[in-house]
Amino acid sequence: MLSITNKNSFLIDEDIDITQQYLKNGFYIAPAADKIALSWIKSSFLKIIKDELNIKTDSNEEQLFDLIHKKVPISELNSFRLSVMKKMNELPDFRKNYFKVAEPYLNILVGNELAMQVRVNLSIQYPNDNSSLLPLHADTWSGDSPFEVVVWIPLVNCYNTKSMFLLPPSENMKLNENFKQMAGSKMEDLYESIENKVDWVKIDYGNILIFNHSLPHGNRINEENETRWSINCRFKSVFTPYWEKPLGSFFEPITLRAASISGMNYKLPELK
């Protein structure tokens, strides 16, 4: 199995430390690299939400995210979420600011020639609501490339069941060894078999989570009294395998370098 050490790497010690944390835990949590970009993202969401709900002024704007379940009934939640997500993705600077929030960490963990998912996803999970659950899954089980990472940005403080869970790499290896025996089992059965092995991510607004989406993850019923808001987007190195979600329709290059552009445009001259 490939690994990284100070002896066989030209990376600086800080980059090696971040890399080893990611490989050991399956994720890396860090402060937003660009706080102005993160503030722009949250402020833009807030404006869209207020427009959607026709809120002119609100003295408790900071609580609007946590307490949105008091404003939008469950029956309207998905249509509300889709509308907010669509309008956010239409903002010209949204994806650029999203990238800026994670850029230095992506350069270390993924590379500096990146492809980014075309559309950013939004999750809203109400307290005690079973309609917005994301059952145990690994994205690679449904055709995503193992060369991708997910940048997961909370818009509120996330903890306990108001967050997401992730199976650590060491436990995932054990699961994979016995996976054939689990074939045909319901996902709930599979979750129950690893329930006491998963890590629940504790992360406050202002920080970001970069995780390995080939590790089983998901959420459960939010038993806290606040709503979870989080956005997520996949990134990968441009020249790594794409599996079922290709460049052009699902991903687009965002940081191509001169030599790559030159090489991709190169045509060997023909002798007549």
What CATH number is attached to the domain comprising 202? 2.60.120.620
Tell me if 267 is assigned to some domain: no
Mean pLDDT of 62-84: 95
State the residue range of the domain holding 232: 13-255
Count of Cβ atoms closer than 10 Å to residue 164 Cβ:
26
Tell me if 272 is assigned to some domain: no
**What pLDDT score does 62 carry?**
77
Nearest to 66 by CA among 203, 227, 223, 221: 227
Dist CA 116 CA 238 (whole Å): 9
Dist CA 212 CA 23 (whole Å): 9
Tell me if 7 is assigned to some domain: no
pLDDT surpasses 90 at 182:
no
Dist CA 66 CA 75 (whole Å): 18
In the chain, the percentage of residues whose pLDDT exceeds 70 is: 95
pLDDT surpasses 90 at 56:
no
pLDDT surpasses 90 at 66:
yes
pLDDT surpasses 70 at 219:
yes
Dist CA 19 CA 108 (whole Å): 7
Choice between 187 and 34, residue whose per-residue pLDDT is larger: 34
Q: Count up the domains in the chain and report the number.
A: 1
Tell me if 3 is assigned to some domain: no
Tell which phi-psi region holds residue 171, choosing left (phi > 0), alpha (psi between -120 and 50) or beta.
alpha
H helices of the chain, in order, are: 13-25, 35-52, 74-89, 94-109, 169-177, 179-182, 187-194, 258-265
Contact 77, 122 (CB under 8 A): no
Tell me if 269 is assigned to some domain: no
**Tens of pLDDT, residues 109-166:** 999 999 999 999 999 999 999 988 888 999 999 999 999 999 999 999 999 999 999 9
Dist CA 225 CA 249 (whole Å): 38
Least confident of 40-54, 178-192, 200-214, 250-264: 178-192
**What pLDDT score does 71 carry?**
95
